[in-house]
Structure 1
């Protein structure tokens, strides 16, 4: 258990660092490009994310599942084979998709998929990154299979740092050549970022050579080496449904890009106004929603190989226990994040993006924090169990509903861009509910109702306090300081209410990495001292 949570903690810390760096970049980029420039950036980047998701997003999960299974059976030869075959396959796939994106970019504008032709340059600028990111995904899947998350976390930090520095620098240097050039420079920055990530992972792979040698010495003599074709078939069989299930946000952004600006123009917005509104939703609201999801993304990445390992050893109780722990941790963070962001949506928008106009979209989208978090955890459980097709099917059912709701709700004048936000919430909620049904069928319930109610009540108390505190502080210290102090007060209030309602117990703390080990040691020391006093 501790190893699973330790891996999640490492990825979460790395994710926080990545998001903090990214948040600063968003501030600079928003000020350099404005809402219209952000809209151009968001029209190009989802294309890249979609292609990468289709081509390689399932590979790290598929590799981690296969390696975790082989590691549980002490099959080091199988681990080596899986990694080498995956690397060769992804090198080929990366080259094909990178060239394909560059060549087909013009047709996206010609066919009307991209509504603003100025985004074309940005799409082509992303093509080189596709080849490199395939290599990145292969190495990450390899280390995640060992439940060794330090290389993945470190590479994420280096990738984001190089990407952000380049993005801000190029946007600033190219803005005089035109808004489309600046947006294209921002998108091209993805390439040096992923390249830095590959270099970091290659370094960790080299350092691990002694560990691989030791594992080969303990090779299970009964294991049978698989052929290359067998490995490829198994990899594809796992990766394709996982890819389809893991392309949630890219598909959402692509659907929004294709439908939302047009429907806004249908109700009277000019093109630049529709692009600006689109930027508020996808470039600002979605970015803020992504901050709390760092934890659930990390939990999901760590949960997949942990569940796969237990499934290979037929330990159903371990799977259920780990799943419940992951779901509880997710709820402890996503529910208050949803409440807090909803209450402070407009002040936060003003503070971070220097505009209050994204506030309504942020408030509506805040519900996606809980719904997407639940979808990620349940999908990870099903993927770890080898039921990789189920999350894919639930995603596509949700997407069909979203397409319909995007078209209908965005064209309601009273809703506008908020209609698209509600369509996204319903999409995530439907996919999560369907996943929960299947998880319950295979391993039982993973969400105790009483525990969930305690967390919700604690979050509501926190939200009420935050609303009152912000209103009181606003006239005294101004918006930015009022938001900062309110967030601190909200965290303290939430922690206190969790302890009062016993939503968090000492047992939960003992399961935590690092702090849990120290608390257990302290508890044992106290028990020894008490025993000595009595006897």
Structure 2
């Protein structure tokens, strides 16, 4: 509510550190008493980590100044403590349900995809291998590629909520369009990069070149997932947390149908499940955008989106040619790193030429931003 994201970030870092330390320490201490005891000790890490994160947040909470951190006065309607607590509980349920939808989707994949691969004629050992390519390799890469938009989605909630409480409709629109502008730049080039460099990516990280197909298809999810994350944050800031949950539920039904249908097609196989994943995230993002259009007037800035797509497309063609030209000259990992850096530089240059990037965008970039100020 104070638009301070540092306490949350610090608490999460502390949580992970404590969890890992306690998990490994307790497992090592209790291992002589058997594997069940060691596993039980390791599970203590989650509780200790969460408690540590809670203490960090308490510390920051009591260090907060009495006035707003922005120094602004609030002239809007005021609520009693009872009303605020009631509203927090009302908001927390759909937001929690939104978090539950992701593991629910994963569990449905576990129930449907292997079974339909067997129906398509794949042997059990290959079914396990193919399912691992999608859920254990391709999907984590997609989540890794959307770290920026995940952080943006978290930070946009208090900003939109603040403007919403002040009934600042212009501020809501500007924050929405600004966050979507950043979303395009953070997802479109990485979608193309992962698609073009899928083979070296899964080979270097997992030593599993056969995961290339699943990774290439799910690469399209980077853009849709980024849009979905940010639009979910915007809707939550607009006090509409139920909408993303309902949209995810509708998209989940579509995914189940596509998983059941496409995965059983022998020539598609795990590719069918990958396309179902793309459709799931894409449809949920589209539904969110429709509601954002309804409540803010913003939909998609097509003039900016096509510049991102063209820039990323040209970048993709050039890095594809560059990577294959250097394949026999440089080691794979060197070629991979150089091609990735080359691709991002090309994307920025082409975006500048198309006037998709301006001085203000450059100034907001980390590390190099000071050169644009």
C-alpha offsets along residues 93-113 of structure 1, whole Å, 9 cap, x if unaligned? Answer: xxxxxxxxxxxxxxxxxxxxx
Return the alpha-carbon distance in structure 1 between the equivalents of residues 253 and 212 of structure 2.
27
Return the alpha-carbon distance in structure 2 between the equivalents of residues 190 and 149 of structure 1.
28
How well do the aligned residues superpose, as a CA RMSD in angstroms? 3.3
Return the alpha-carbon distance in structure 2 between the equivalents of residues 470 and 167 of structure 1.
42
- Say yes or no: does 1:241 pair with 2:94: yes
**Do 1:327 and 1:446's aligned partners in 2 also have CA atoms closer than 8 Å?**
no
| Counterpart among 225, 230, 236 of residue 80 in structure 2 | 225
**Do 1:320 and 1:446's aligned partners in 2 also have CA atoms closer than 8 Å?**
no
Return the alpha-carbon distance in structure 2 between the equivalents of residues 506 and 470 of structure 1.
31
CA drift of 1:276 comes to 2.3
- Say yes or no: does 1:154 pair with 2:14: no
Return the alpha-carbon distance in structure 1 between the equivalents of residues 184 and 215 of structure 2.
20
- Say yes or no: does 1:418 pair with 2:271: yes
- Say yes or no: does 1:350 pair with 2:203: yes
Return the alpha-carbon distance in structure 1 between the equivalents of residues 164 and 61 of structure 2.
26
**Do 1:155 and 1:196's aligned partners in 2 also have CA atoms closer than 8 Å?**
no
C-alpha offsets along residues 22-71 of structure 1, whole Å, 9 cap, x if unaligned? Answer: xxxxxxxxxxxxxxxxxxxxxxxxxxxxxxxxxxxxxxxxxxxxxxxxxx
Seen in structure 2, the aligned counterparts of structure 1 residues 406 and 188 have a Cα distance that, compared at 3 Å, is farther
* TM-score (norm. length: structure 1): 0.62
Higher RCO (Cα < 8 Å, 6 or more apart): 1
**Do 1:334 and 1:373's aligned partners in 2 also have CA atoms closer than 8 Å?**
yes
Seen in structure 2, the aligned counterparts of structure 1 residues 422 and 220 have a Cα distance that, compared at 3 Å, is closer
Seen in structure 2, the aligned counterparts of structure 1 residues 304 and 340 have a Cα distance that, compared at 3 Å, is same
CA drift of 1:320 comes to 0.7
CA drift of 1:248 comes to 4.4
* Structure whose residues are more often helix by fraction: 1
Aligned to 1:398: 251
Greater shift after overlay, 344-353 or 261-270? 261-270
Return the alpha-carbon distance in structure 2 between the equivalents of residues 219 and 495 of structure 1.
40
Aligned to 1:504: 357
Seen in structure 2, the aligned counterparts of structure 1 residues 209 and 517 have a Cα distance that, compared at 3 Å, is farther
Aligned with 1:426: secondary structure?
A: helix
CA drift of 1:231 comes to 4.8
C-alpha offsets along residues 202-250 of structure 1, whole Å, 9 cap, x if unaligned? Answer: 13532542425567xx9999955333xx555423321222233344432
CA drift of 1:271 comes to 3.4
**Do 2:218 and 2:274's aligned partners in 1 also have CA atoms closer than 8 Å?**
yes
Seen in structure 2, the aligned counterparts of structure 1 residues 495 and 326 have a Cα distance that, compared at 3 Å, is same
Seen in structure 2, the aligned counterparts of structure 1 residues 435 and 478 have a Cα distance that, compared at 3 Å, is same
- Say yes or no: does 1:454 pair with 2:310: no
Across the two proteins, how many residue pairs are aligned to each other? 367
Aligned with 1:291: secondary structure?
A: helix
* TM-score (norm. length: structure 2): 0.87
For structure 2, list consecutive stretches of 5 or more residues without a partner in the other structure.
none
Aligned to 1:209: 62
CA drift of 1:190 comes to 6.7
CA drift of 1:173 comes to 12
Return the alpha-carbon distance in structure 1 between the equivalents of residues 26 and 116 of structure 2.
32
Matches within 5 A, 1:253-402: 253-402=106-255
**Do 2:11 and 2:57's aligned partners in 1 also have CA atoms closer than 8 Å?**
no
CA drift of 1:418 comes to 1.3
For structure 1, list consecutive stretches of 5 or more residues without a partner in the other structure.
1-144, 176-180, 521-535
